[in-house]
Amino acid sequence: MPKQYWLMKSEPDEFSIDDLKNNKNQTEGWEGIRNYQARNFIRDDMKINDLAFFYHSNCKQPAIVGVMKIVSKPYPDKTAIDKKSKYYDEKSSSDNIRWVMVDVKFVKKFAQPITLQELKECPELEDFALVRKGNRLSIMPVTPLQYQTIIDMK
DNA sequence: GCCAACGTTGGC
DNA sequence: GCCAACGTTGGC
């Protein structure tokens, strides 16, 4: 199985690439995914050693800010049954957690972020889900060609 | 802060 | 199973 590529969104006010970089072991459990399409990507397709772009969303400068690596298999997201968590899901229970997560590890932070505007201006990326209008998917696949195109934009 | 786009919920 | 109402996402 060749390596796969992803893009994962996070609001930098909540969790930024610097937070990941400064974490113990530069690793974090990517919890709180509450969208079925995104969950299914994690559950069914994500593999250890896949690479993922770290995307800052809902902020002053939406942009791809770096790269991380998937370092665990999918496992149940226990914040779904933690009543104190903002990700608590009343329809999940300890024997039926509806949501999964993976651990990610920091790989690198770009010296210059690749902004959403730049991505939109790139003709090779017009089919990329991120730049399409109304896209709200928080985890999406990136093709090898798209990955290389984006890496080469720096 | 606004609002378009989208996902989810629930009555029927 | 339809679809209106509602909540959320996320760019601007």
Look up residue A9 and give its two tokens: 């969104």
In A96-111, which positions are buried (b, 16+ CB within 10 angstroms) versus exposed (e)?
ebebbbbbbebeebbe
| Smallest CA–C1' distance to B4, residue | A134
Rounded (to 5) percent helix, strand, coil in chain A: 30, 30, 40
CA distances from A82 to A10, A36, A90, A125, A139 (A): 21, 19, 9, 39, 23
pLDDT of amino acid A143: 96
Tell me, what's the pLDDT at A154?
73
pLDDT the model gives residue A91:
86
- Give, in Å, how far the C1' of C7 lies from the CA of A136: 14
Using the predicted structure, report yes or no on whether residue A107 has a pLDDT greater than 90.
Answer: yes
Q: What is the pLDDT of residue A2?
A: 67
Q: Is the CB of A138 under 7 A from strand C?
A: yes
Residue pLDDT, tens place only, A36-52 = 999 999 999 999 999 99
Rounded Cα distance between A79 and A26, Å, is 21
The pLDDT > 90 percentage for chain A reads: 85
How many angstroms is C1' of C5 away from CA of A135?
22
**Per-residue model confidence as pLDDT tens digits over A53-106:** 999 999 999 999 999 999 999 999 999 999 888 899 888 888 889 999 999 999
The number of beta carbons lying within 10 Å of the beta carbon of residue A146 is 21
A116, amino acid identity: L
User: C1' nearest to CA of A35: which nucleotide?
Assistant: B7
Tokens of A96: 């039926």
% of chain A exceeding 70 in pLDDT: 99
pLDDT at A9 over 80: yes
For chain A, state the CA radius of gyration.
15
Model pLDDT for residues A120-139, shown as the tens digit of each residue = 999 999 999 999 988 899 99
Rounded CA–C1' distance between A59 and C10, in angstroms = 8
Exposed, middle or buried, A49 (CB in 10 Å: 0-12/13-18/19+)? exposed
Q: What is the pLDDT of residue A1?
A: 65
